[in-house]
Amino acid sequence: MGRLVVASVPANHVYVRHLSPEDGSGPVRLPDPPPAEAASSQQWWPPVMLDSAWVERNDFDVFHLHFGFDARSPAELRELVAALRRRGKPLVFTVHDLRNPHHPDRRDHDRQLDVLVPAADALVTLTQGAAREIRARWGRDALVVPHPHVVPLEVMRRAAAMREVQRRGPGKREFRIGLHVKSLRAGMHPHAVLPVLVDAVRDLPGAVLQVNGHTDVLDPDGKRYDAALAEALQDHAGRGEVDLRIHDYLDDDGLWAYLASLDVSVLPYRFGTHSGWLEACRDLGTAVVAPSCGYFADQAPVLTYGHDEDHLDATSLVTAVREAYAGHVAPAPDVEERRAQRARIAAAHARLYESLVGDGR
């Protein structure tokens, strides 16, 4: 019997790629079919595999949905499920988001989940907290499998070596606290977080508040220019309170170098569920201050502050930043820990797929 074939949606996403063993063994994941309208930098969007016609025409053993169904209506998702049923192909759904961080309102995503969660032959999620919510909302159990590493292992190794050199170096270096506003998602609310961080950093000798943001949000000619945020940042930068960096999207190497240069990254989310950014920070030895919404604190050891759609607890944010400054943070996973974790994650997924396919292949 040949290797099991999985149609992963999408296949070319770092999370999905790191569900496979490092040596390339394990199930075969079909490449993303390139959509006709895709940009060269977005070869998997919109995902062609979500078309019921693709399901009917192509051969695979398991269909595993992760991301990319944002623009699909509940009716289209029901047709996808129906096509999988006609083909006799099991559906695995990893519930990454119980609240979509891109949607200002939760209703559309809830309607999509109301199709996918009950229909899936197996559910996976990343944290026990998310699994409990899934059980409470739909009466279904999800297999909890943690998020794998995001940063390439060799980059992790180099970042750890650089931090050790800096730690042993003479004198006291700057302590960099990062707030990344990138291209604002609906779930991000840096406007309220920013002044609290400015006040907190003012009392920490040698601390620098670095704010990175994309030109589409912070440049007046940007498509999603946020005048209030941009003006506030320029005011703080003018007073020397913020090291403001405005740029376009960073490529992977640029992103890893940026995150590795920080001591702590503050996540300004008011809603969400899980975070790949959080995992990338951990890979690079950067501590994380995460909000109380979602299941970020279940995902990994982080410092937590109160922040959701209803309120921001400024005191807890200041406390979390001071704890990070004092070094009261969990140690980052090393390369061998991440390597062993990836092997366990890959094995868990392979077992799940085999249990669904059985002798029917």
β-sheet with 175-182: strand ranges across? 243-247, 207-214, 175-182, 264-266, 287-291, 303-305
pTM: 0.95
Cα-flanking dihedrals φ and ψ of residue 241, to 5°? Answer: -90, -15
Point out which residues pair with 9 in neighbouring strands: 65
C-alpha–C-alpha distance, residues 20 and 4, integer Å = 12
- Same-fold call for 5-149+339-359 versus 153-332: yes
Cα-flanking dihedrals φ and ψ of residue 311, to 5°? Answer: -160, 160
**What tokens were used for 189?**
């609310």
| CATH code matching the domain that covers 153-332, chosen among 3.40.50.1000, 3.60.20.10, 3.40.640.10, 3.40.50.2000 | 3.40.50.2000
Could you state, in order of their start, the residue ranges of all structural domains in the chain? 5-149+339-359, 153-332
110 burial (CB, 10 Å; 0-12 / 13-18 / 19+) is: middle
CA distances from 114 to 52, 119, 121, 138, 294 (A): 19, 9, 14, 8, 19
Q: What is 275-309 written as a DSSP string?
A: -HHHHHHHHTT-EEEEESSTTHHHHS--EEE-BSS
Q: Would you write out the chain's pLDDT as a tens digit for each of its 361 residues? A: 689 999 999 999 999 999 999 999 999 999 999 887 655 555 677 899 999 999 999 999 999 999 999 999 999 999 999 999 999 999 999 999 999 999 999 999 999 999 999 999 999 999 999 999 999 999 999 999 999 999 999 999 999 999 998 888 776 689 999 999 987 889 999 999 999 999 999 999 999 999 999 999 999 999 999 999 999 999 999 999 999 999 999 999 999 999 999 999 999 999 999 999 999 999 999 999 999 999 999 999 999 999 999 999 999 999 999 999 999 999 999 999 999 999 999 999 999 999 999 755 5
**CATH code at 5-149+339-359:** 3.40.50
**What tokens were used for 104?**
């200002």
Position 2 scores a pLDDT of 82
Position 38 scores a pLDDT of 53
